[in-house]
Amino acid sequence: MAQYDVIIIGAGPGGYVSAIRCAQLGLKTAVVEGRDTLGGTCLNVGCIPSKALLHASHMLHEAEHNFAAMGLKGKSPSVDWEQMKSYKDETIGQNTTGIEFLFKKNKIDWLRGWGTIPEAGKVKVGDEVHEAKNIVIASGSVPSSLPGVEVDEKIVVTSTGALELAKIPKKLTVIGAGVIGLELGSVYARLGSDVTVVEYLDAVCPGMDKDVQRSFKRILEKQGMKFIMGAAVSGVETTKTKAKVKYTLKKTGSEEVLDADVVLVATGRKPFTDGLGLDALGVKLSERGQIATDAHWATSVKGIYAIGDAIDGPMLAHKAEDEGMAVAEVLAGKKGHVNYGVIPGVVYTTPEVATVGQTEADLKAAGRKVKTGKFMFMGNARAKTVHQGEGFVKLIVDKETDRILGCSIIGPGAGDMIHEICVAMEFGASAQDIALTCHAHPTYSEAVREAALACGDGAIHA
């Protein structure tokens, strides 16, 4: 029986990053993972494969819509769906084997199989029991189910099945206008599917800045996606090859039906804790079924910690990574910390949408006095050059102190640009700090500086 300082359950971004940091800090570390490859949902059936399909379908969109205007003439490429899926799988393979390499380099043991915790200090994998001073649960999440909707991963799919469809559907209905629905919906819209998104709320991407929600939906509509808002899906009926999505329009109460070849259920995710034995151990869960932890990721049972999608907070790979590193530091006797106020969120559509901090609406609702600076990408030379002049940067700052409280960007490269604001917020910077920082020309980032200038005496190119 092997003895470890730490056993981590789950090799997703939370678990594998935590393992590497534990090993770097001198702890003897093992990771339990039941999949055939490391990397969890993110690398195998989430962030990474969807980005491959988003990239490939974006290239097609460029060829179809923008090449001719740039003098690139000729027939647009046709889609070889099998090859596109192989390219996606290759991308997954490069990343998952990369983590295997990092495990070997850091002398981390991979305990292959699904783990249970028979008691604190012990993890059972198959017939073997391994001992550890501390256990970190990083078991992630799975798609939540919707009453009346049975997923078969062929006609009615979650994000997992949507990455592996046998063919590109003629008609795709997406339930839920959240991140998954909009990213994968836009992949298939670009590949030629007739995509309709049915959403319960009146706006896309719940919780986002209202200006962004409106602009984002308009842009996606221009790209051909259709939306039925304020509609509660109550069930899906399937035949061998087709589906009927039943929904009720909240305003009128009328019951409607939508035909589809494929239905993507993207109505949220829930913690995956099945089989860990948490009940018997007495590990406390929150009302929402998440593992309850204290400020140092300790559960109610001594020696058992939890991070990532299995606990409270946004279900984001990078939030799990940060918690993974921080809990490793706690276990090594250092001071691990995560600033939950500065966790960016990105939607990888074209244009990208990125947010950090609080929204104008939330701040105003909390009674804060704020001012905003907004700059449209239409005034950014670089964005116009690449046919991406839609969208804007919106900065929210404290009215008195000018300190940055939040930012939303919809536009080219938004997911990378948001980090300038994350760093600024970590340093307690003001909009003026950004405005006084020289930004290279011509870059998309100039739009961030212009938004900062708009918080003061005014943007230059507005």
Q: Give the nearest distance from C-beta 49 to ligand NAI in angstroms.
A: 11
Query: Rule CB under 6 A: is residue 266 a binding residue for ligand NAI?
Result: yes
The answer to whether residues 326 and 337 touch, using CB atoms and an 8 Å cutoff, is yes
Chain residues 105-164 in contact with ligand NAI, contact rule CB under 6 A: 146
- Range in contact with ligand NAI (rule: CB under 6 A) among 83-91, 237-245, 344-352, 424-432: 344-352
Q: What residues have CB less than 8 Å from 95, skipping those under 6 apart?
A: 39, 43, 48
Looking at the Cβ atoms of 22 and 307, the one nearer to ligand NAI is: 307
DSSP lists the bridge partners of residue 240 as none
Contacts of 101 (CB under 8 A, 6+ apart): none
- Binding-site member from 44, 267, 293, 350 for ligand NAI (CB under 6 A): 267
Please identify which of the residues 337, 387, 441, 461 carries the catalytic annotation: 441
**Which residue is closest to ligand NAI by CB?**
178
Nearer to ligand NAI, 116 or 350 (CB): 350
- Residue 183 C-beta: closest distance to ligand NAI, Å: 6
When asked if residue 271 is in the footprint of ligand NAI (CB under 6 A), the reply is: no
Q: Which region, judged by CB under 6 A, interacts with ligand NAI, from 109-117, 262-270, 350-358, 369-377? A: 262-270
Residue type, 206: P
Q: What is the total count of residues that contact ligand NAI (CB under 6 A)?
A: 27
Of 232 and 361, CB closest to ligand NAI: 232
What are the CA-CA distances from residue 44 to residues 36, 89, 168 (Å)?
10, 9, 20
Out of 346, 363, 410, 455, the only residue in the binding site for ligand NAI (CB under 6 A) is 346
Please state, in angstroms and rounded to a whole number, the distance separating the CA atoms of residues 429 and 453: 14
Both tokens of 241, joined, read 């090859």
Question: Closest CB to ligand NAI among 42 and 429?
Answer: 42
Site string for ligand NAI, 304-323 (x = CB under 6 A): ----------xxx-------
Between 67 and 200, CB nearer to ligand NAI: 200
Is residue 260 a contact residue for ligand NAI (CB under 6 A)?
no
Q: Whole-number minimum distance, CB 291 to ligand NAI, in Å?
A: 16
Shortest distance in whole angstroms from residue 71 CB to ligand NAI: 34
Segment interacting with ligand NAI (CB under 6 A) among 254-262, 266-274, 363-371, 447-455? 266-274
Burial of 411 (0-12, 13-18, 19+ CB in 10 A): buried
What sign for the dihedral angle of Cα 221, 225, 226, 230? negative
Cβ proximity to ligand NAI, 32 vs 146, nearer residue: 146
Q: For ligand NAI, which stretch binds (CB under 6 A), given 3-11, 55-63, 340-348, 376-384?
A: 340-348
* Catalytic residue flag (residue 441): yes
Q: Which is nearer to ligand NAI, 270 or 439 (CB)?
A: 270
Q: Which of residues 174-213 bind ligand NAI (CB under 6 A)?
A: 175-181, 183, 198-201, 206
Residue 232 within binding range of ligand NAI, rule CB under 6 A: yes
User: Which residues are identified as catalytic?
Assistant: 441
Query: Where do contacts with ligand NAI occur on this chain (CB under 6 A)?
Result: 146, 175-181, 183, 198-201, 206, 232-233, 266-269, 314-316, 345-348
